[in-house]
Amino acid sequence: MDCHAQDGRDLKYFNYSNFSIRARSVFHGLDRGAGRSDRELLRSLNIPNPGRPWNPPYQPGPGLDSQPVGNWAAGAGLDAVLDSDAAMLPYVAPTLTPADFNPAGDFSIRETPIAFQLPAWNRWLPKVHPVDVWGDTFTHSTLFTAYQQLRSKLVPGDANAYGGQKYLLADWMQYKNDFKSIIPNPDFTTSTGATQIYSLSLWQLVKLWELNQEFALEA
C-alpha cells in the first residue's frame, strides 16, 4: 500500500470504484473481507474527492483557479486537452494585441489548456516498490528517513511547522540522487532495471503529492 498515499487517500480523491478497490486488494493478497474493510476505511476519510481515475492530475484548463486549492490536483479533465498547439492561441493571446503580453499582467498556467494529455494517476504509481528492490538499503537511506521525518514534523495549517521543514523538504527532493549513487548501477538495457529506477522517482512523486495534500501545503 506504500505505493499509494500512506492512508490511501488517493483512491478516494480520484474516486476509484468500490469494485476496483476490492479487486486490487485481492490482487495484493488480501481476502475479499479485507478488501471490503479497505473500501469502507477509504470512504470514511474526510477529504475532498473531485478527481476521476481517467482525468490526468494537474491537467491545466479554465476554471481551476476558481476552485479550492485542494482540488487543483484533480485537473481540469480530459475535455481540457486541446487538439493542437495552435488551439492555445485564444487562451494565450485573446486580443492579439501587445496588451496580451503585458509583463505586469496575470497569466495563470493552471488556467491555460495545452495540447498534451498528462499522465493519469495510475501512471504515477510505481510498478515496483523500492523496498522490494533494495530492502534495508532503502529503508535506512536519507531518502526514506527524511520522508518519515517530514511526516512526523509537519502539521496542517501550522506556519511554524512549515517553516521548520522547508529546507528538509527541498533537500529531500535531492536525496533521490544521493540514493541512486549508493546502489548498484541498474542495467537500463533491461525492462527490469529501467522500471526499478523509474519507480523510485514515481514513489517520491506520490509521496510528495501525499505530503502536499495531507498537510495542506499546496495553498
pLDDT digits (tens, 9 = 90+) for 147-195: 999 999 999 999 999 999 999 999 999 999 999 888 877 777 889 999 9
- Could you tell me the three cell numbers for 204? 517520491
The answer to whether residue 56 sits within a structural domain is: no
List of E strands, the chain: none
Domain identity same for 206 and 135 = yes
Domain identity same for 198 and 169 = yes
Domain count, the chain: 3
Whole-number Å distance between alpha carbons of 142 and 182 = 11
pLDDT, residue 183, reads 86
pLDDT tens digit sequence for 74-84: 999 999 999 99
How does residue 213 score in pLDDT terms, banded at 50, 70 and 90? very high
Last-in-domain residue among 24, 49, 74: 49
The answer to whether residue 7 sits within a structural domain is: yes
Q: Which residue has the cell 527490469?
A: 192
- Structural domain harbouring 146: 126-219
- Could you tell me the three cell numbers for 19? 469494485
pLDDT, residue 206, reads 97
Whole-Å CA distances, 26 to 21, 22, 40, 41, 95: 9, 6, 15, 16, 55
Q: What is the pTM of this model?
A: 0.88
* Residue 37 clears pLDDT 70, i.e. is over it: no
pLDDT, residue 67, reads 95
SS3 category, 14? coil
Q: Which residues does 55 contact at the CB level (< 8 Å), separation at least 6?
A: 14, 74, 75, 77, 78, 120
Q: Which residues does 71 contact at the CB level (< 8 Å), separation at least 6?
A: 48, 50, 64
